[in-house]
Chain A
Amino acid sequence: MPNPIIEKISSALEISRQKLREAKTENDIEAVRVDLFGRKGLMPALSKEMSAVPSEEKREVGNALNNAKNEIQTLIDEAKAAISSVSSSASDEIDVTLPGRTWKLGKKHPVTMVIDDCVSIFRRMGFIVAEGPEIETVYHNFDALNTPPEHPSRDPQDTFYFPDGRLLRTQTSPVQIRVMESRKPPIRIVAPGRVYRRDTPDATHGMNFHQIEGLYVDRNVSLSDLKSILLAFAHEMLGPSVGVRLRPHFFPFTEPSVEYDFSCIMCGGKGCRVCKNSGWLEISGAGMVDPNVFKTVGLDPETWSGYAFGMGIERIAMIRYRINDIRLLFENDVRFLKQF
């Protein structure tokens, strides 16, 4: 009759084999290990009982105990390996909701977006872009544009001057003069660019802002042509339902001069807070080139006629994106820039 310890060993072996076969998680395996090898486990307990084993049986029982320990350890290792191979095949299943690695997406400044949109619309209608310097002569910015010497816009209160008498252009209109000086009609240009007014920056004013100017000089250009180009622009820029309204106004370099409004894009012309209930959004000024301007650049007003128009880029950007403070455009907070 074998020693009872050997029986205990073999039954423990049997149970452990069974458990390890069925183990599904690391925890199951760990439970087996703790049962056998833990501080209060079976194996340490049996080892203690060895002292009570008769000396002639010690060898046999000792061997059985060692074999059992080895076998269980091997089974535990195998079980662990089996489980980890299962779990590694499970990790091929990725969490598709983890954040993607961003391909950097750059953003155009809203002012540039509006300029580029304007330019592409006018290019489509046969215009090309012309440019001029930002430091201008009084002649190009005022005199040649038929601005009387006493006109308030010339005042150093409103216009930045340099010690040599030149100024920072207050409008893109001097580009009209430069273009008419340098090429023969027909002329069909737009001139986007930065302009300057001596305004202390606030929600609607800045020291510098942007305009785009248009000029078409040819034979038989009429107010009706001007109306059609502004209407076409409004449709391309803001949608086919937008209407255009011309109102008489005054600019020294056009006659007749008009201000033009687009029907309000928020309310469709019904009247809302944005258009101050008028149904119209004031955009800017335009008109037929004044005969005096033609004479100044050496073109005969009896032969040539033309229209000119301008608009404020920031104003359109502010309407389009409902920006309520022009200073945001020059703050460059990336949280702002990335919205466009």
Chain B
Amino acid sequence: MKISYNWLSQYTDIPENIRELADKLTMAGIEVEAIEAGKIIPDGIIIAEILERKPHPDADKLSVCRVNTGSEELQIVCGAPNCDAGVKAPLATLGTVLEDDETGKKITIKKAKLRGVESSGMLCSARELGIQDDHSGIMHLPKDASVGAPLNSIIKSDTVFDLEITPNRPDLLSHWGIARDISALMGTTLRFPDIKIPAVLKAEAAKYKDSVEVLNKGLCPRYTARIVKGIKVKESPEWLKERIQSIGLRPINNIVDITNFILMELGHPLHAFDLAELKGQKIIVRTASDGETMMTLDGKTHKLKSSHLVIADAEKPVALAGIMGGEHSGVTDKTVDILIESAVFFPPNIRASSRELGISSDSSYRFERGVDFEMAEAASNRAVSLILELAGGEIVSDLIDVKAPEREMPAPINCRFSSIRKLLGTEIDNQEIVEIFKRLGLEVSEINENSCRVDVPSYRLDIEREADLGEEVARIYGLDKIPALPVNAKMVSSLAEDAYLKLETAKNELISLGLCECMNYSMSDEKSAVCDGKFTKEDLVELKNPISSDFAYMRPSLFSGILDTVRRNISRKNLDLELFETGVVFCANKNLYPEERRECCIVLSGRKHPERFSSEKNETYDFFDMKGLLEKWLEHRRLENTGFRKADDPRFEKGSCAEIIAGGKYIGSFGMLAGNFTRGMRTQYPVYLAVIQLDVLLGLKDRNILYEPLSMFPSVARDVAFVADESLSHDKIVEFIMRSKPENLEKVELFDIFRDENIGKNKKSMAYSLTFRNSARTLTDEEVNKAHEKLRSQLASGLSVDLR
């Protein structure tokens, strides 16, 4: 909301320093979002009087004026149509620098000849001075302006604040409202504008007594109307135009400008109807009938519903209550008699209608937040007073005031001083608390040493409870005065209950394994969501109101997101990738997965040592790099019953894919990304990817660390080599050896695999080194040989391999 400094200063004394005022407002909870400093009028612009106007001898559009500057008479050539004798206007004297607002160009006023006639200065339009947008002619100044004085002595440059008003404080949505809060903050006196209402023509007053009918008092708790006849609709005076232009409104005519002015002055929306356009000279406040239509003053036709409140005459709606007036009932140049509406509407209804009809106005903005019940009358009075002053006419009705009988008065609040102190954590005394309430316009009574009774004025809709009073005390007392005590670091629960520790640890482990963490959006399109072949559309959690179809589903897996990440990096020529992501994924099929679970994805692709040179530079990640990484991770987590088994999975190339087992459970899969996912990626390197059910992994119990004594006796090494079928896997061999339990065997390690024509097709030669050791003594050759021989023959018979 825009607030003009000059305007605001009418209602209370405010700090002269703009910055100081902005800080005061900010610290009172009225955030200053922007400050637009007004244009400063240079001292060289003075008030001058045109004494004589003569046509220019050589130019039709120019005039030659004799101008009184107070100290001398000058000849000025002027191109404006309105530079008549007798007019007082701003004169830029010689040497004055004027700056064009739009172009920023500066011009210096110099003595010049215009078509042969000398001119010693320039008479200025409002736009040339950056005061208003009017460029139709030179600016006319008030008749009583003192000639020779600088213009800035009568026209003050203004500063406009853009304020953010929180939704709980509709009372601040006006200059008066802001002034009221400043007066509470600073203890200054408030000045309500003068209102003069003459006596009403009694003869006509009776005629209009019953012209307002409110059919739905729930939606319209108060409706007031006043009728003024014989007005003259015309342009507003300068001061009024200046006020409403200062906050960015466009002047229209005196009546409309007055209603807009009061809206911004007192925060109460008003509407002026052309009485001649009200059929039956009546106002009926009712809900629309379904399908009823009306055209608003912006020229749009709306189809209404029975929930929409309208202001109607005897025949049809003439305004959308509290939102916008009708096209045909408003004030025009021809209007002579008017009805001024000042009402209170039920906020939720205005909010709903405004949203449904897609119309938001300064009026609906205030009504949907709640206006001051009592202000309805004051605003109407203010309007009538201004209309009589600026448009003439006669007031012909009393205030026609239709109120809901059962209006709820806010209950008084019992305020315990100790509660306020406890809430704020500061020693503010009773008297100071009471003083703050009084400054805020709250009525304080029944004061004793423990508590007081507080009655809240009609404009403070946000104060209902003791806690609300506490907030007011904090606000006015000043949050900066509340001390920061030493931190209380009380431990009220154990770290074992901490929900993040496990995840945090897991992430740190992956980082220590050399992976870079990524983060992708949680939503995706349908095609990406099901691209991994693990989910169908029915398994997806679908949004009701997505931003677009590209983000219509909650991701069922991190797969497609990290795939996008890989694709994006490759397209940017970042080919060497070591990545991981952890995140929540979603599933609608409870038989498949819980609705929300955590997943982890790991990616390896590209060169292992791009930083090196020669042949080393060409080493690239392969299946066993990913496997080794996963093995180390599981080992670090001290998980038992871990392993890998061959698998078929649509996400991965056939034959280059495995399932990961930990704690005896399936926890994920990994492999070389299948060709249909890497198609089009401009990389020569295969992409290895692992998808892990992180919740399952983090839920596994880890092995306790129990120290095993170290043997101080030497180990003895033996080898065993044999030719086996290709189908015999390494883990089967190791498992067989371990199951055979050769005496004193400490360790088995594969050291060679070899294939060639001599061995035969579908055969491989495998060589293992065996380490024997005893914890209590040195082993003899014979006993090792015996165990070695036994194992050899067991392998030959048990696995049908050919020993070498």
Contact = CB atoms under 8 A, between A and B. Distances in A.
Nearest to B421: A222
Contact of A223 (B425, B487, B517): B425
Contact of B611 (A102, A198, A244, A291): A102
Interface stretch (A33-41, A79-87, A245-253): A245-253
A315 interface: no
B348 to A, nearest CB: 5
A125 B489 contact: yes
Given A150-B348, A160-B546, A134 B422 contact: no
A338 B547 CA distance: 31
A140 interface: no
Nearest to A107: B516
Interface stretch (B525-533, B569-577, B636-644): B569-577
A54 interface: no
A250 B169 contact: yes
A152 B514 CA distance: 45
A102 B499 contact: no
Contacts of A247: 26-27, 29, 31, 479
Given A163-B544, A247-B27, A224 B495 contact: no
Interface string B720-737: 000000000000000000
Interface string B510-521: 111111111111
A335 B518 CA distance: 12
B565 A256 contact: no
B202 to A, nearest CB: 44
A242 interface: no
Interface range on chain A (Cβ under 8 Å from partner):
35 or more
A194 B486 CA distance: 31
A48 interface: no
B650 to A, nearest CB: 24
B613 A129 contact: no
Interface in B657-704: none
B479 A116 contact: no
B521 A227 contact: no
Q: Is the interface of A mostly helix, strand, loop or mixed?
A: mixed
Contact of A256 (B28, B475, B551, B576): B475
Contacts of A262: none
A55 B551 CA distance: 104
Contacts of A111: 519
Interface stretch (B56-64, B291-299, B388-396, B464-472): B464-472
Contact of B517 (A162, A189, A337): A337
B724 to A, nearest CB: 35
Contact of A228 (B28, B487, B490, B577): B487
A248 B471 contact: yes
Contacts of A103: 514
Interface stretch (B132-140, B245-253, B500-508, B764-772): B500-508
Contact of A337 (B482, B516, B583): B516
A284 interface: no
A308 to B, nearest CB: 14
B470 A334 contact: no
Contact of B166 (A206, A208, A232, A250): A250
Contacts of A192: 500
Contacts of A250: 29, 166-169
Contact of B514 (A106, A161, A206): A106
Contacts of A222: 422-426
Interface stretch (A14-22, A58-66, A325-333): A325-333
Given A248-B29, A255-B467, A332-B568, A131 B499 contact: yes
A108 B580 CA distance: 10
B346 to A, nearest CB: 11
A168 B500 CA distance: 20
Given A247-B26, A248-B471, A337-B516, A225 B504 contact: no
B710 interface: no
A100 B425 CA distance: 59
Nearest to B486: A228
Interface in A299-334: 305, 329-334
B753 interface: no
A229 B471 CA distance: 19
A256 B473 CA distance: 10
B480 interface: yes
B493 A188 contact: yes
A272 interface: no
A133 interface: yes
A198 to B, nearest CB: 6
Q: Which of A150, A163, A196 has the most CB of B within 10 A?
A: A150
B520 A332 contact: yes
Contact of B543 (A112, A162, A224, A225): A162
B504 A119 contact: yes
Interface residues of B, number: 92
Given A248-B474, A256-B470, A333-B574, A223 B489 contact: no
B490 A188 contact: yes
Nearest to A125: B489
Q: Which of B352, B479, B577, B612 has the most CB of A within 10 A?
A: B479
Contacts of B519: 109, 111-112, 329-330, 332
B752 interface: no
B596 A208 contact: no
Contacts of A196: 522
A193 to B, nearest CB: 9
A171 interface: no
Contacts of B409: none
B101 to A, nearest CB: 23
B510 A134 contact: no
Interface string A102-123: 1111111101100010010001
Contact of B518 (A102, A207, A332): A332
A288 interface: yes
A290 interface: yes
Contacts of B471: 248, 255-257
A2 interface: no
A192 B514 CA distance: 25
A155 B31 CA distance: 24
B613 A99 contact: yes
B480 A208 contact: no
Interface string B402-426: 0000000000000000000011111
B491 interface: yes
Given A245-B480, A332-B518, A332-B565, 6 more contacts: A99-B612, A109-B518, A125-B487, A246-B480, A256-B467, A258-B479
Pick the 7 closest A-B CB pairs, nearest first.
Answer: A104-B514, A222-B425, A224-B425, A248-B29, A106-B511, A256-B471, A250-B166
Interface of A: 98-109, 111-112, 116, 119, 123-126, 128-131, 133-135, 149-152, 155-156, 160-163, 168, 183, 186-189, 192, 194, 196, 198, 200, 206-208, 218, 220, 222-225, 227-229, 231-232, 244-250, 255-259, 288, 290-291, 305, 329-335, 337-338
8 contacts: A109-B517, A135-B541, A183-B493, A188-B490, A218-B492, A222-B423, A224-B482, A250-B29
